[in-house]
């Protein structure tokens, strides 16, 4: 009797552990919903999910949830599975309570067994019990297969047919060899027929040459298909990744996304390499099984049943391996994130003595990885040893029955020799087939993770349905924004008009909504209500691509990407703009700094390059914005790293540039010769006034 288990579902976003826990329990009770489907109506809350939010989601899907404050000893009274509040910032699913330990499904780290001592350290005393309500109705889960993430593969069907034809021909040649051996044993040796021996030798040699030719052509076909398939599919997935909204990346760690992207290699390796092996061995197994049956039904039944028994053992192990595979994926993703963050913030860790903590964290992850890997290896080892036992028992039984048949004159020595060769080959090939089909099941895990990218919704409003006119004024009407439906509003009824070529300064305390408003104007963030207009045209009609063609910006958190200084400014390696670059660099006072570098404008830099100061990097970002010759220029704290002299020089250049300018700054408003000042406070525009005369400097 199989015990019903809670299917492990890993979280995709950093703060959606609660949603992942709900998905696990919903699926346990027969409500087949995926995490992306649950996310559509119940997205993760900014900064973490509240218990009340989880309870509301339960009600919406036909469940009844009750929150309890209790001790560890009282957990046994709850109906399992249930949700536990973990480390004051996380949720896990409690699946089983043992005598001295508990078993949990952690959406961030996988399946884990926690002893009572560690449970006290992590469990906060809050649990959510979930049961089906009277309004509950089961839902069948949507299955994700490999085709869902690969899409239509051009040339795949012809490739399969070519590989199938080649495998059949190769099998026929290989299967003739035991027949020739049988002929030699039963005819050539007893009759001393040398002519027949020479004939058998020549036929064997001809078959070997033909097999070599067919195998070579088959391998060349596979290599060509593999090269075409790998490059096209990887390129398509990367293209899809770049079309996703910025919020997709903000809610997921780099390690998470990179490890999902690596799923392409695993799936590609199977489809381009292992698939041809599967086709070859399936056809071989069928043909050999028919040959075995033609020799003797009883002996063939023994051989075939041995393979069936191994398949049962192998797929019984699958359910345990699958959980370990999911845990491994979660831990590998976490390991990659820790490594990336350590390298990115190595200076901070060194200065604040955080290296010991980060090393301890990394060591804990790889220790858990080793533990999970050991469990998988143990299960695989047991399945392999059982297969060896089954194979050994099959060989003994086949030999015993075959000898009995020979004693009864029902088989010859040559037939026994040939049958044994065929049975060994059938066992080998059927084992390969079983193992590959088993790996297909595990491949679905990779397909599911990759589908988070492939099936994610593209950034909306990119396509233009209306051409921009020559008027580059800006208007905002009734703009509201909040980061999730339970979060407070960060922008409230924003109504602003900015004329063409006007320079506007946005001021206000930190957190007052200035940067959020800027991101909405650039199409990085979508408002929950309201509209934006450029030249009187709604940006939903103009499309974000059209907006981004006429705008340049320097935002908080902007950085230089790995490449040359020239590439960072122009986003190109063409040298036709070098004079324009020199002109801008001279104007803002960084040309001499660049030319002193060994390779000048072709010096390689990146976001962690330390041979440039913070102010110099900021000047390069401003150069990038000016080089584009924007109609609308947006600067959000673009002067934060500039000294007073550099700031004045840079802003003289900016102010002399004719375009609509929007500047966000905490500096004194008299620093900037702007036309108007718009003051934000707690998400609202509380004052719009003309700028005071600039102070003497």
Fold of 17-132: Cathepsin B; Chain A (3.90.70)
Q: Give 385-419 as a DSSP string.
A: HHHHHHHHHHHHHHHHHHHHHHHTTSS-HHHHHHH
State pLDDT tens for residues 86-123. 988 889 999 998 888 899 999 888 888 888 888 888 89
Report yes or no: 521 and 532 within 8 Å, Cβ to Cβ.
yes
Report yes or no: 644 and 654 within 8 Å, Cβ to Cβ.
no
* pLDDT of 634 strictly over 90: yes
Q: What's the average model confidence in pLDDT over 244-264? A: 79
Q: For 337, phi and psi rounded to 5 degrees?
A: -65, -45
Sign of CA dihedral 337, 340, 342, 348: negative
Sheet holding 632-636, edge to edge: 551-554, 632-636, 660-664, 503-508, 676-681, 684-690
CATH 3.40.50.300 at 474-690, yes or no: yes
Reference 165, options 230, 215, 129, 204; nearest CA is 215
**Is-same-fold flag (17-132; 474-690)?**
no
Sign of CA dihedral 173, 178, 179, 185: positive
Q: What's the average model confidence in pLDDT over 485-496? A: 85
Cβ atoms within 10 Å of 109's Cβ, excluding its own: 20
CA 19, chain centre distance (Å): 18
Fold of 146-329+380-454: ABC transporter transmembrane region fold (1.20.1560)
C-alpha span between 539 and 527 (Å, rounded): 12
Secondary structure of residue 312 in the 3-state scheme: helix
Among 148-157, 262-271, 376-385, 631-640, the minimum mean pLDDT is found in: 148-157
State the average pLDDT for the chain: 83
- The overall pTM is greater than 0.75: no
- Model confidence band, residue 529 (pLDDT cutoffs 50, 70, 90): very high
What confidence score (pLDDT) does residue 340 get? Answer: 83
Q: What's the average model confidence in pLDDT over 300-324? A: 85
* pLDDT of 2 strictly over 60: no
C-alpha span between 502 and 655 (Å, rounded): 10
Q: What's the average model confidence in pLDDT over 637-657? A: 85
Give the C-alpha distances (Å, rounded to integers) separating 290 from 287, 394, 527: 5, 18, 67
Give the CA dihedral 466, 469, 473, 479, nearest 10 degrees.
0
* pLDDT of 460 strictly over 80: no
State pLDDT tens for residues 167-220. 778 777 777 777 777 777 777 777 787 888 888 788 888 888 888 888 888 777
- Model confidence band, residue 549 (pLDDT cutoffs 50, 70, 90): confident
* pLDDT of 695 strictly over 60: no
**Per-domain residue ranges for the chain?**
17-132, 146-329+380-454, 474-690
- Model confidence band, residue 635 (pLDDT cutoffs 50, 70, 90): very high
Reference 361, options 375, 376, 349; nearest CA is 349
* pLDDT of 633 strictly over 90: yes
Residues in the chain: 697
Q: What's the average model confidence in pLDDT over 403-415? A: 84
State pLDDT tens for residues 348-395. 888 888 888 888 888 888 888 888 888 888 888 888 888 888 888 888
Q: What's the average model confidence in pLDDT over 577-593? A: 90
- Model confidence band, residue 24 (pLDDT cutoffs 50, 70, 90): very high
Q: Burial of 308 by CB count in 10 Å (0-12 exposed, 13-18 middle, 19+ buried)?
A: exposed
Q: What's the average model confidence in pLDDT over 292-303? A: 88
Among 71-80, 467-476, 533-542, 613-622, the minimum mean pLDDT is found in: 467-476
Q: In terms of pLDDT, which residue wins out, 176 or 133?
A: 133
Among 101-110, 159-168, 660-669, the minimum mean pLDDT is found in: 159-168
* pLDDT of 1 strictly over 50: no
The strand ranges marked E within 585-683 are 604-605, 632-636, 660-664, 676-681
- Model confidence band, residue 47 (pLDDT cutoffs 50, 70, 90): low
């Amino acid at each position: 009797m199989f015990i019903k288990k809670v299917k492990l579902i890993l979280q995709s976003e950093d703060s959606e552990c609660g949603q992942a826990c709900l998905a696990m329990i919903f699926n346990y009770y027969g409500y087949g919903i995926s995490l992306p489907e649950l996310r559509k109506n119940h997205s993760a809350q900014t900064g973490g999910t509240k218990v009340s939010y989880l309870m509301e989601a339960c009600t919406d899907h036909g469940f009844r949830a009750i929150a309890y404050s209790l001790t560890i000893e009282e957990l046994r009274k709850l109906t399992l599975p249930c949700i536990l509040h973990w480390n004051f910032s996380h949720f896990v699913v409690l699946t089983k309570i043992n005598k001295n330990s508990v078993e949990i499904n952690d959406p961030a780290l996988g399946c884990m067994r926690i002893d009572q001592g560690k449970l006290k350290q992590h469990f906060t005393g809050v649990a959510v019990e979930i049961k089906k309500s009277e309004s509950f109705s089961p839902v069948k889960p949507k299955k994700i297969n490999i085709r869902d993430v690969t899409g239509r593969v051009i040339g795949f069907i012809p490739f399969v047919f070519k590989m199938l034809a080649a495998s059949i021909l190769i099998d026929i040649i290989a299967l003739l060899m035991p027949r020739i051996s049988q002929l030699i044993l039963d005819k050539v040796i007893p009759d001393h027929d040398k002519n027949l021996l020479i004939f058998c030798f020549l036929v064997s040699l001809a078959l070997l040459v033909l097999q070599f030719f067919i195998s070579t052509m088959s391998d060349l076909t596979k290599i060509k298909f593999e090269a075409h398939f790998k490059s096209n599919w990887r390129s398509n997935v990367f293209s899809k990744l770049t079309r996703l909204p910025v919020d997709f990346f903000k809610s997921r760690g780099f390690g998470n996304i990179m490890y999902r992207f690596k799923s392409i290699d695993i799936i590609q390796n199977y489809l381009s390499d292992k698939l041809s092996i599967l086709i070859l061995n399936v056809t071989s197994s069928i043909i050999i099984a028919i040959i075995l049956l033609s020799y003797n039904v009883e002996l063939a039944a023994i051989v075939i049943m041995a393979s069936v028994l191994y398949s049962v053992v192998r797929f019984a192990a699958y359910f345990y391996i699958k959980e370990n595979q999911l845990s491994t994926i979660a831990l590998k993703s976490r390991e990659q994130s820790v490594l990336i963050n350590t390298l990115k913030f190595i200076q901070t860790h060194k200065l604040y003595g955080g290296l010991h903590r980060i090393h301890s964290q990394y060591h804990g992850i790889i220790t858990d990885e080793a533990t999970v890997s050991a469990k998988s290896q143990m299960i695989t080892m047991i399945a392999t040893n059982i297969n060896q036992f089954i194979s050994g028992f099959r060989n003994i039984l086949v030999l015993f029955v075959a000898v009995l048949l020979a004693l009864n004159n029902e088989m010859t020595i040559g037939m026994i020799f040939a049958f044994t060769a065929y049975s060994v080959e059938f066992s080998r090939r059927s084992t390969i087939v079983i193992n590959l089909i088993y790996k297909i099941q595990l491949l679905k895990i990779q397909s599911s993770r990759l589908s988070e990218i492939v099936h994610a919704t593209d950034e909306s409003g990119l396509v233009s349905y209306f051409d921009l006119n020559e008027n580059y004024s800006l208007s905002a009407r009734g703009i509201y924004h909040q980061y999730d439906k339970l979060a407070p509003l960060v922008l409230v009824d924003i109504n602003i008009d900015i004329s063409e070529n006007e320079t506007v300064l946005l001021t206000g305390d930190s957190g007052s909504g200035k940067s959020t408003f800027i991101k909405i104007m650039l199409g990085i963030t979508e408002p929950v209500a309201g509209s934006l207009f450029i030249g009187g045209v709604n940006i939903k009609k103009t499309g974000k691509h059209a907006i981004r063609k006429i705008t340049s910006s320097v935002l908080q958190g902007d950085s230089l990407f790995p490449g040359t200084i020239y590439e960072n400014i122009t986003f190109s390696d063409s040298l036709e703009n070098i004079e324009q670059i020199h002109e801008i660099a001279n104007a803002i006072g960084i040309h001499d700094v660049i030319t002193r570098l060994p390779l000048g404008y072709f010096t390689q830099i990146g976001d962690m390059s330390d041979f440039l100061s913070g102010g110099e990097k900021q000047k390069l970002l401003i150069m990038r914005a000016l080089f584009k010759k924007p109609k609308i220029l947006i600067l959000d704290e673009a002067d934060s790293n500039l000294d007073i002299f550099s700031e004045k020089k840079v802003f003289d250049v900016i102010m002399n540039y004719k375009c609509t300018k929007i500047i966000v700054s905490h500096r004194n408003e008299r620093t900037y010769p702007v036309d108007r000042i718009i003051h934000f406070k707690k998400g609202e525009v509380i004052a719009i006034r003309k700028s005071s005369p600039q102070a003497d400097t």
